[in-house]
């Protein structure tokens, strides 16, 4: 089974945000985790046993994405915890103190405590979600904390002393809410981030990866540029032509590329990661980055708009109109490749590529 993603967003958006915040301690990064987790669910072809299976899968993806962000070189600059806490509406001073004390713990303890007290998972279930043994999951818990519920306030609410440990924890962390608007239209997933001051493109791809985060610098002309180091040469497609590209690692997880274009030498930088269906992240090779870079829609000097994909060069000027999404398909090696293309004003074009259509196949025009 697979529940429509818009239904899951309403049910689990804040839960995933709280988990991601426990890991990243950053509102902006936690929002990114929520966005990317639902995107992966939207793209995966995986079938689930029931909603609890889906919930556990979403949490596992969010945990993996949060940990990847913590290790990433493009982490956003986060607001200090004390400043962020000032924006939260805690019900009681005790809740605020509990929140602060938990967030001071090491990540591995915060995460287990949160899954136990907030998500109500057992130690065995937590071990399954995190992929560790039960012996590695240790929660200092006394169940309901031995607290009596014999007395309550006149308004029917319990005093803090009458609340169980789980109830206190849930009250403290219920102040966390995702602040982002979740947009699952793949053609709108391109966005600028403060992490790199560049653009990340989220695209569905076939087989091994669920999506690719691609980071590309602008392409320009280099005059007698000396990149230094040992170069690797890769033969790839650029603007529909086979080109020999010199590649050198730039030291921050990406690559510098250069190639001859007539009498000039063109150069650009790039890098990225692939993300599997469980949120695990791995660096793209130079060949994979160039494969993504070789697929683009661009406006040429004469004002015409062209789609470039490997050996294919297609004039789509008449198909790109205003802010409407242009849906075209190219037959490559006897198989269709589907493209959703939309103008992004002066920035260029947002584009997604997939082996399966988004919506009806009849909406795509076969071009070549």
In a domain, 179, yes or no: no
Residues linked to residue 326 through DSSP beta bridges, in sequence order: 341
* pTM over the 0.75 mark: no
Q: Domain ends where: 294, 310, 333? A: 294
- For 10, the 3-state DSSP assignment is helix
Compute CA 246 distance to the chain's CA centroid, rounded to the nearest angstrom: 30
Residues 305 and 290 in one domain: no
Q: Mean pLDDT, 10 residues at a time, over the chain (368 residues)?
A: 92 96 92 90 90 95 87 63 93 94 90 94 90 72 36 43 82 90 50 33 33 47 40 84 86 78 80 65 79 84 90 91 87 91 74 85 88
Residue 180 belongs to a domain:
no
Residue where a domain terminates, one of 268, 294, 320: 294
Of 256, 276, 294, the one marking the end of a domain is: 294
Q: Would you give the DSSP letter of residue 192?
A: E
Pairwise CA distance, residues 39 & 205, whole Å: 13
Q: Which residue has the tokens 């730039």?
A: 250
Other C-beta atoms closer than 10 Å to the C-beta of 56 total 16
Spell out the residues 6+ positions from residue 240 whose beta carbon is closer than 8 angstroms to its own: 308, 310, 311, 312, 313
User: Is residue 268 domain-shared with residue 302, that is, in the same domain?
Assistant: no
In a shared domain, residues 20 and 156: yes
Does residue 317 lie in a domain region?
yes
Q: Which residues contact 307 (CB under 8 A, 6 or more apart)?
A: 296, 297, 313, 314, 316, 328, 330, 339, 341, 367
Whether residues 159 and 24 share a domain: the answer is yes
Give the pLDDT of residue 271.
73
Angle at 276 between CA 34 and CA 251, to 5 degrees: 90
CB proximity list for 18: less than 8 A, separation 6 or greater: 114, 118, 173, 176
Kindly state whether residues 290 and 305 are assigned to the same domain: no
d(CA 341, CA 186): 10
Residues 288 and 299 in one domain: no
d(CA 232, CA 158): 68
Asked if residues 351 and 339 have their Cβ atoms less than 8 Å apart, the reply is yes
| Contacts of residue 297, Cβ cutoff 8 Å, sequence gap at least 6 | 305, 306, 307, 308, 316, 320, 339, 341, 348, 349, 351
- Examine residue 190 and state whether it is found in any structural domain, yes or no: no
Domain-embedded: residue 193: no
pLDDT of the residue at 253: 66
In a domain, 191, yes or no: no
Q: Which two tokens stand for residue 107?
A: 């990540």
**Residue 266: partners with Cβ closer than 8 Å, 6 or more residues away:** 219, 220, 221, 222, 258, 259, 260
* Alpha carbon distance 256, 266 (integer Å): 11
- Domain shared by 289 and 304, yes or no: no
The tokens describing 59, both together, are 């949490």
Structural domain including 213 reads 198-294
My answer on whether 168 and 250 are in the same domain is: no
Note whether 66 and 54 are same-domain residues. yes
Residue 334 and residue 324 in one domain? yes
* Contact in structure between 21 and 27 (CB atoms under 8 Å): yes
Report the domain count for the chain. 3
Specify the DSSP class assigned to residue 129: H
In a domain, 183, yes or no: no
Quote the pLDDT of residue 276: 63
Residue 185 included in any domain: no
Residues 151 and 75 in one domain: yes
Q: Is the domain of 150 the same as that of 135?
A: yes
């Amino acid at each position: 089974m697979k529940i429509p993603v818009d239904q899951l967003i309403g049910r689990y958006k804040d839960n995933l945000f709280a988990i991601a915040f426990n890991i990243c301690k950053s509102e902006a990064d936690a929002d990114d985790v929520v966005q990317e987790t639902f995107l992966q669910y939207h793209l995966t072809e995986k079938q689930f046993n029931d909603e609890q299976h889906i919930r556990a899968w979403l949490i596992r993806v969010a945990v993996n994405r949060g940990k990847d962000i913590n290790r990433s070189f493009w982490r956003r600059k986060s607001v200090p915890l004390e400043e962020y806490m000032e924006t939260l509406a805690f019900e009681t001073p005790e809740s605020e103190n509990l929140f602060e004390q938990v967030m001071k713990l090491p990540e591995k303890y915060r995460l287990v405590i949160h899954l136990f007290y907030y998500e109500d998972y057992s130690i065995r279930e937590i071990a399954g979600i995190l992929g560790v043994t039960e012996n590695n999951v240790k929660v200092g818990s006394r169940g309901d904390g031995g607290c009596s519920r014999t007395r309550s306030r006149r308004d029917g609410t319990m005093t803090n002393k009458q609340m169980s440990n789980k109830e206190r924890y849930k009250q403290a962390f219920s102040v966390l809410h995702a602040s982002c608007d979740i947009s699952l239209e793949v053609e709108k997933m391109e966005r600028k981030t403060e992490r790199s001051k560049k653009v990340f493109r989220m695209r569905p791809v076939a087989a091994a990866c669920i999506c690719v985060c691609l980071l590309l610098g602008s392409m320009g002309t280099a005059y007698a540029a000396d990149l230094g180091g040992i170069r690797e040469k890769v033969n790839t497609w650029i603007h529909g032509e086979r080109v020999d590209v010199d590649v050198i690692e730039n030291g921050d997880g990406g690559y510098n590329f250069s190639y001859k274009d007539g009498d000039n030498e063109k150069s650009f930088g790039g890098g990225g990661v692939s993300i599997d269906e469980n949120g695990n992240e791995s660096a793209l090779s130079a060949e994979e980055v160039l494969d993504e870079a070789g697929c683009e829609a661009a406006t040429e000097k004469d004002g015409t708009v062209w789609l470039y994909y490997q050996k294919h060069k297609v004039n789509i000027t008449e198909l790109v109109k205003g802010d409407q999404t242009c849906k075209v398909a190219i037959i490559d090696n006897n198989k269709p490749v589907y493209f959703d293309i939309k103008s992004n004003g002066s920035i260029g074009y947002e584009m997604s590529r997939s082996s399966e259509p988004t919506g009806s196949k009849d909406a795509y025009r076969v071009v070549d």
